[in-house]
């Protein structure tokens, strides 16, 4: 298949958290074998779904040699409301080309980057290496970087540097934010539980939909959070109005485009879940104002941020899941202080509070061989010579923890594009990325 036909094929294979990446990883493994690479698969079950890390090496690979990791994650976020994918006939897995753009889920973030690396690296598979390349496709990046973490824990690679694929408009990213997820559970009272049970099937309840704009949660100011619209609506209702159900968002690391609430306006409760939800969001907004005291002009946004990304209802209560982006200059004790504030608030108001994830930021020195070499490649290819930072988290956070220098580079735009309907990449960027990876092999491997 030609390159663009393979792009369409890889986008057509769903690899969301609800399905796992197994099918797309096995397809990519087949491509790697056909290209003459030696393939290793690390199979893992994650959230009851089969997943794989894919490792592809030149046939001359010797296990004792130090490698250079060329890595791309093969999973995507959930697509969200299908009707928002207007460029792909409401099918996010139908790659559609329009001029220099190719639309579809995973075009920019980040499955097509794997093909760029594969097409570039296989040209060198029969060379003699000072450091062999290892092409890696990981699983579950979007929900915790579990694939990269298992890769390093398993000691399946021996490396000192990694080039990680994420959309960066082909600029060198040397640092990225840390990432934290906190889950809040607002418990129904026994009276609320009884009312919800008795209310099943009755017609007196009212439902209301809220619509916003989805963007990557690392740039929440560019989106329009539908969950916050829902909370503002609840705040204007008579205090204690009965909430039957409230939902919103498809992924915590996406600003939610849609939310929905069902209420019983004829019933009120003292100290209701609705009141507690409103108070919780006010507490989060107070924390956001505190974030403004921690400016870091190397990043955009220049402050830590938070995003109420998912709202769920179950028999126990309402669950609000919030993601936080934390700049590298924030000390661990400051994060602990913020968590302590949220825990004290939760205890005082009868909420459950759980920090379910904390990924550290990543920073590779500008004077490292990896960054300076990558910038020289950019200069040679007439790409941007300005190193940048990334507001979102990346798998560089994992590699840095294990002592590897790492950078991010990839075709396509992230801001306003990743984690949104009608996600796209530039075909011209895909071509230039292949040139960059070829030069990276020459620079770091040969």
| pLDDT(64) > 90 | no
Q: What band does 63 get if pLDDT is binned at 50, 70 and 90?
A: confident
What pLDDT score was predicted for residue 47? 87
**From the CB of residue 2, how many other CB atoms can be counted at a distance below 10 Å?**
7
Q: How far apart are CA 305 and CA 232, in angstroms?
A: 20
Average pLDDT, the chain: 95
Mean pLDDT across 376-396: 95
**Cβ contact 265:310 at 8 Å:** no
% the chain with pLDDT above 70: 99
d(CA 403, CA 393): 17
Q: What is the pLDDT of residue 201?
A: 58
CA atoms within 13 A on the CB side of 103: 18
3-class secondary structure per residue, 240-281: CEEEEEEEECCCCCECCCEEEEEEEEEEECCCCHHHHHHHHH
- What is the share, in percent, of the chain residues with pLDDT greater than 90? 89
Alpha helices, DSSP H only, in 158-312?
A: 190-198, 226-236, 273-291
Residue 200's pLDDT is what?
63
pLDDT digits (tens, 9 = 90+) for 129-148: 999 999 999 999 999 899 99
pLDDT score at 251: 85
Residues 6+ apart with CB under 8 A from 276: 186, 349, 350, 351
Residue 183: its pLDDT value, please?
97
What mean pLDDT do residues 151-169 have? Answer: 96
Please give the pLDDT value at position 404. 97
Indicate the pTM of the whole model.
0.84
pLDDT exceeds cutoff 80 at 202: no
Among candidate residues 264, 89, 259, the one with its CA nearest the CA of residue 191: 264
């Amino acid at each position: 298949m030609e390159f663009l036909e393979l792009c369409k094929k890889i986008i057509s294979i769903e690899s969301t958290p609800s399905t796992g990446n197994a099918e797309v990883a096995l397809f990519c493994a087949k491509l790697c074998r056909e290209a003459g690479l030696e393939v290793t698969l690390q199979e893992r079950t994650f959230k009851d779904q089969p997943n794989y890390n894919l490792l592809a090496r030149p046939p001359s690979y010797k296990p004792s040699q130090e490698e250079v990791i060329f890595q791309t994650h093969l999973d995507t976020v959930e697509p969200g409301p299908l009707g928002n994918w207007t460029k792909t006939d409401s099918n996010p897995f139908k790659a559609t080309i329009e001029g220099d753009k190719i639309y579809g889920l995973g075009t920019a973030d980040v499955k097509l980057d794997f093909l760029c690396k594969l097409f570039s690296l296989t040209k060198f598979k029969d060379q003699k290496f000072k450091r062999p390349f290892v092409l890696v496709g990981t699983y579950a990046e979007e929900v915790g970087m579990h694939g990269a973490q298992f890769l390093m824990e398993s000691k399946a690679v021996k490396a000192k540097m990694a080039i990680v694929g994420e959309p960066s408009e082909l600029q060198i990213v040397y640092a990225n934010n840390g990432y934290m997820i906190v889950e809040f559970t607002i418990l129904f009272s026994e009276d609320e539980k009884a009312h919800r049970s008795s209310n099943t099937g009755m017609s007196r309840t009212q439902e209301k939909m809220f619509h916003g704009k989805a963007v990557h949660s690392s740039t929440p100011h560019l989106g329009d959070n539908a969950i916050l619209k829902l909370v503002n609506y609840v705040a204007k209702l008579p205090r204690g109005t009965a909430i039957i159900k409230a939902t919103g968002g498809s992924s915590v690391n996406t600003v939610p485009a849609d939310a929905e609430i069902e209420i019983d306006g004829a019933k009120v409760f003292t100290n209701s879940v609705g009141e507690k939800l409103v108070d919780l969001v006010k507490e989060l907004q107070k924390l956001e104002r505190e974030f403004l005291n921690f400016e870091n002009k190397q990043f955009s946004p220049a402050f830590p941020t938070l995003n109420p990304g998912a709202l769920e209802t179950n028999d126990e209560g309402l669950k609000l899941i919030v993601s936080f982006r934390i700049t590298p200059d924030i000390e661990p004790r400051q994060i602990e202080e913020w968590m302590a504030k949220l825990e004290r608030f939760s205890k005082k108001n009868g909420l459950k509070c759980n920090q379910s994830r904390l990924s550290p930021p990543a920073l590779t020195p500008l004077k490292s061989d990896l960054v300076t070499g990558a910038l020289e490649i950019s200069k040679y290819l007439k790409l941007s010579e300005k190193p940048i930072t990334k507001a979102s988290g990346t798998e560089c956070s994992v590699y840095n923890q294990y002592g590897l220098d790492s950078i991010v580079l990839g075709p396509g735009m992230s801001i306003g594009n990743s984690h949104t309907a009608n996600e796209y990449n530039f075909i011209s960027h895909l071509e230039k990325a292949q040139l960059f990876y070829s030069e990276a092999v020459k620079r770091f491997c040969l």
